Amino acid sequence: MGIIMLTAIVIAKNEEQMLGDCLKSLKFANEVIVVNNNSTDNTVQVAKKHKVKIINFSGIGYDLARNRGLSEAKNNWILYIDADERVSPSLKNKIKKAILSPLYSAYDINRQNIYLGKQMKYGGWGDDSVIRLFDKSKLFGYVNSLHEQPKYSGKLGKISEPIIHYSHRDLYSMTEKTIFFTNFEAQNRLDVNHPPVVWWRIIRVMITEFYIR
């Protein structure tokens, strides 16, 4: 499949091991932007090898990082992909069709989650999807520093071909990300004056999550 007029935006922090394969899967886009969020490893060097546009970002919040990439995009269509995700050849074809014959302002794309080397089918991971493909003129940007959500106008379409998501590759990275998210969410609650958490709520949340998963 040839190059298409699409800007792919990748948010990356210390993703030297995952970024290369991600960028290889995005070669069908005529513009790729890597938003480098204070990486201390070789993330920038990997991005340079693939001759993509690199933006250094020092803010706090996934919404701000995604919006920073959006501000530099040159094309009318935007695709957001994380460094630990891949676009398969079949998904590329679906994206190309959506762009060439646009019926919607944004597209919700299925996501196949690979967790510790295994494809997840249950426990809330099997029916995952993310809104990642946008008509730039209808996209206002992202909100929420964690678990960020896009704000857009118009109708939402659906692409069934999944994004391949290599979530946690080992127990160390899983623990590190969990600690980071926990600290982030705790700070967010403090910032909005969330009331103190009582002991019974901790037990209720644990039981509820165990039942769901």
pLDDT, one tens digit for every residue, the chain (213 residues): 578 899 999 999 999 999 999 999 999 999 999 999 989 999 999 999 999 999 999 888 899 999 999 999 999 999 999 999 999 999 999 999 999 988 999 999 999 999 888 898 888 788 899 999 999 999 999 998 888 999 999 999 999 999 999 988 888 888 888 887 888 788 878 888 888 888 998 899 999 989 888
Stretch (H or E) spanning 5: strand 4-12
Separation of alpha carbons 27 and 4, rounded Å: 9
Q: Contact 123/45 with Cβ under 8 angstroms?
A: no
pLDDT number for residue 97? 94
Residue recorded with tokens 């690199």: 54
Residue recorded with tokens 């958490």: 197
pLDDT number for residue 22? 98
Taking the C-alpha atoms of 72, 55, 154 and 76 in order, what is their torsion angle to the nearest 10 degrees?
Answer: 40
Instruction: Please state the pTM of the whole predicted model.
Output: 0.88
What are the residues whose beta carbons fall under 8 Å from the beta carbon of 174, sequence distance 6 or more?
A: 116, 168
